[in-house]
Amino acid sequence: MRKTDISKYAGGRNVDKENVSTAKSVFKMILRCITTIITVFVIAGAIVSVSLFSYIYSMKNESVDYDLHKLQLNYTSFIYVNGPNDDASNPVKYQSLYSSENRIWVDYDKIPKAMKDAIVAIEDKRFWEHKGVDWKRTFGAAINLFDIFQSNGGSYGGSTITQQLIKNITGDNEVSLTRKVKEIFRALNLEKKYSKEEILGAYLNVVPFGSGCNGVQTAANLYFGKNIQDCDIAQCAAIAGITQNPTAYSPLTHPEKNKDRQQTVLKAMHDQGKITDEEYQAAVKESENMKFVGKKAEDVVDENSVWNWYTEAVFEDVKNSLMETYSCSSDKAIDMIYHGGLKIYSAVNSDLQETAENVFNDGKTFPSAYPNLQGGYVAMDYNGRVLAIVGSKGKKESNRLFDLATDAKRQPGSSIKPLAVYGPAVNAGLINYSSLVNDEPLPNWKNGQPGPANWDNRYHGIITVEKALEQSYNAASVQVDKMLTPNVSFNFLREKLGFTSLEPADNTLAAMAVGGMTQGITVKEMTAGFQMFGNGGKFYKPYTFYYIQDHDGNVIVDNRNEVPVQSISSSAATVVHKLLNNVMAHGTGIAANISGWDVFGKTGTTNDNKDSWFVGGTPYAVAGVWTGYRTPKVLTKYETPVAKTVWKNIMTQYLKGKEKKEFDLDQNVRPFKFCVESGLLANPGVCTETKTGWYDINKLPATCNIDHGGSGSETDSSSSAAGNSSSTGDSSQAGDDFPELPSQQPDSGTESGTHSSETSSKGNKNSSKASSRQGVSKPDDQSWRQDSISPDE
């Protein structure tokens, strides 16, 4: 029998045992890995959960750092003007100022119930029940979270009115879990601080309603031409329906989509019991044919996107005032105007503004043969209030343009003489109404040549101040300013009349005495300077607005109590006033005179005849006109008188129907007859030719006692030509406009009735003696000179 080797079987069993052992090891290893992974996930999950909870918990006090009563949002500013008949106690809205966002705050109690119900019904039907977050809507919206992240856009939905308010206040529209969690806590905390009414009221004033409107008031203004409190149920539903997508549901661009949305809102209101069946049916019917007007509310007088010239000036003046008040940049000030909800109370006289603009553009006042002839106009009262401004002729096409009345600096020519020469000279006691001045050229006026020339190309020797200003003789003005000194004139204009356009190089006889300045000055400056001849010598800084209120009603800038500068004495102002009356009655201003009214004024034309001026006043207003070309060029004889015509046409219409009144002049200035030959007070029975002048009774000149060499009979002359004339031989510097050269008539008091060179010389010698007797020379007190000597002295 064969033996069997069983060892091999025993070895097989060992192999099986090894395999089983290996399998167990692998299983244990996998189990350990799984356990480890699970443990890691559990630990990680716990860490994440704790971290997330801690993070969320850290935001539990998240709030909006805003006072709902003082939201720093973009609010429309308004310009108000005086009511009918220039009634400052009854201002009316005139113009709105805003850029991209038009928002007008309206109090909660002025918003109709239908508007509140409509917005709650369509946006947040459980608004009055929840505490800032509608958890049912929030959990429902969370289901779409993954889809939103996948699409990288959209919104979570489920936001309450409170949450939407927060989003609009903060401007935080980021699509993220963090923002949403913050918003939830902010909403919960906001509702702890404010009532539902306060939150809903803020919401209705903040959210956008399309077409640049923010808040229900501007939406009602734009879409229905009325205030929100006057809107009915259907109109409120139309406004409420816009909020979901202001672009898609704008009634002006998508009226059909707005109608569908409007009816959805009405159904929600009806389903929620906010309106009755009858109200619902009526509103739906109205929505089928609803008209959207696309204009502002009727209580705003002027809603043209292009401002008139006065509004233009108000904008610039408000900007400058805000820059000064808040020490801010121009951009910041403009941002405050457009977005600060300011109330600006304009000083415009609406009637005069309309009249002035009509005259500038009536096609008659400016010669049709010269269509490019331009002009600028400013009118003021005698307390600094700017009544009207016209910045150019022609239709105004846009805003913030170059203004020929307030921005343009032009050579004033002879219109500067009362301000820079005669006014301060009378005030200093250097001259009086009838002082004698020498209308002769300076030997080295320009390039070694004598000058300046007069408009009539003649010099007139010794003449009175009255005659010198009446006929606007340049040489006489220069002689007076040489006594006064240009430095006194220059400083007077800057310090006493607020001129800011002057350059240091203007401190010369040419600039001060005949208006030949480096850059020139503005119509506004000239007009403001002439105030003093109608208000007793005072200068009030011109203003275009009374005051400004901020969004909360606080007055932040106030021009109503401006303290004037006493530029010259009341008596000096009255004397110059009378001198300028004579200019209107007998001199270069005749064409602008208005019958039946006390009018003072002065013309001005530059020596190169490129600028023409007239500045003058009546008891109701002082006004200045400049005419010329944007790019200066010589004016024709038909263009030069236009400034006077413009002034007279506007002022005549403004005075129509007004009660007659007189200037309040200094009572110490009285009329006295003076001797035309000596300039002294007339001596009855001795002086052969006299006129009436005006003098401060405390500063009367001496009585004439010279030998006139005549019969002693007295002639009272209301207007006489200069007694002496000789050709200048230089017509290139004619300094003023006179429509026609008057015939050179002799003074009526001469023995022969004509003036030869010999008699003129004799008259000049006598007049010189008289001049020394009446005290035309400089006073002993030299303080007025301010230690300055004219270059010509």
Model pTM greater than 0.75?
no
The answer to whether 423 and 489 are in contact (CB under 8 A) is no
Task: Look at the block and give the residue holding tokens 């939406």.
Answer: 219
Q: Is residue 713 part of a domain?
A: no
Determine the straight-line distance between the first and last CA of the chain, rounded to whole angstroms. Answer: 165
pLDDT of residue 573: 99
Give the CATH number, domain containing residue 202.
1.10.3810.10
Q: Compute mean pLDDT per 10 residues along the chain, 793 residues long, and list them.
A: 50 58 74 75 60 50 60 80 91 84 85 96 92 74 50 55 86 65 82 91 91 89 93 97 92 93 96 96 95 62 76 97 94 89 96 97 93 98 98 93 96 97 98 98 92 95 98 97 97 98 94 93 98 98 97 94 96 99 97 98 92 98 98 95 98 97 97 97 93 98 86 51 35 38 31 32 39 36 30 26
Q: Is residue 425 part of a domain?
A: yes
The residue from 255, 288, 321 where one domain ends is 288
pLDDT of residue 12: 54
Among the listed residues 157, 131, 112, 136, the one whose alpha carbon sits nearest the alpha carbon of residue 269 = 112
Q: Is residue 364 part of a domain?
A: no
Q: Is residue 542 part of a domain?
A: yes
Number of H helices, E strands in the chain: 24, 23
pLDDT of residue 454: 95
List the beta bridge partners of residue 515. none
pLDDT of residue 152: 43
The residue from 234, 266, 288 where one domain ends is 288
pLDDT of residue 751: 29
Q: Is residue 420 part of a domain?
A: yes
Do residues 603 and 462 both lie within one domain?
Answer: yes
Residue 642 CB burial class (10 angstroms; 0-12, 13-18, ≥19): buried
Q: Is residue 530 part of a domain?
A: yes
Task: Look at the block and give the residue holding tokens 């003129």.
Answer: 760
Torsion, Cα 309 313 319 322, to 10 degrees, reads -140
Residue 163 tokens read as: 């949450």
Structurally, how many domains does the chain consist of?
Answer: 2
Which residue range forms the structural domain that includes residue 118? 69-74+92-288
3-state helix, strand, coil in the chain (%, to 5): 40, 15, 45
Q: Is residue 577 part of a domain?
A: yes
pLDDT of residue 777: 34
Q: Is residue 688 part of a domain?
A: no
Do residues 618 and 469 both lie within one domain?
Answer: yes
SS (H, E, C) 183-214: HHHHHHHHHHHCCHHHHHHHHHHHCECCCCEE
The answer to whether 455 and 734 are in contact (CB under 8 A) is yes
The residue from 665, 683, 706 where one domain ends is 665
Give the CATH number, domain containing residue 473.
3.40.710.10
The answer to whether 762 and 730 are in contact (CB under 8 A) is no
